[in-house]
Amino acid sequence: MSEDPKPLAPSIAMAFEGIRTAFAKEHPLFSQLNYRALRVGRGELVIEVTPTENFLDGDGIHSGFMTILLDTIMGMATWSDMDTFQPLATINLQTDTFCQALPGKKVIIEAICEGLMDDVSIVRGKTTSEDGTLLATAAGTFMVGTRSAQVSRI
């Protein structure tokens, strides 16, 4: 991540507020999370969440939970790199999980949009525990300008 991200385009900053509100109201996963943005910049997003026991798989947090978080935050990093808001759809997402997060412990999700070309974005992300332990990494591509019913409601 760069030290000083470029500021968001004003229309994207407004869209982010709408997205935050919509996720909190309508997205079942995000309605159960205590999350906050640590950094929002042009093409960069860092979010902190504290997963609860609702997401347990054995003693740790389910790896699918990390995949959903990475997919969502990486998509939002793409939005933050745009000049005008457009719907997105995940084309490809590869995640590698190294260890499980623990319930009640903070998880940091970082995403950076490497670039937008035509109607595709390339994004990378990672999750770490509050002590800096690497939990998972991800690489993804997103189609820009899709007509998703879910995203169109935002």
For the question of whether the overall pTM of this predicted structure is more than 0.85, the answer is no
- Which amino acid, one-letter code, is at 27? H
Weakly modelled stretches of the chain, pLDDT under 70: 1-9, 12-13, 15-27, 31, 148-154
Which residue's structure tokens are 């003693």?
59
Instruction: Tell me the domain boundaries of the chain.
Output: 10-152
Pairing mode, if any, of strands 44-49 and 60-61? unpaired
* pLDDT score of 115: 93
Which residue's structure tokens are 């997003």?
45
Class of domain 10-152: alpha beta
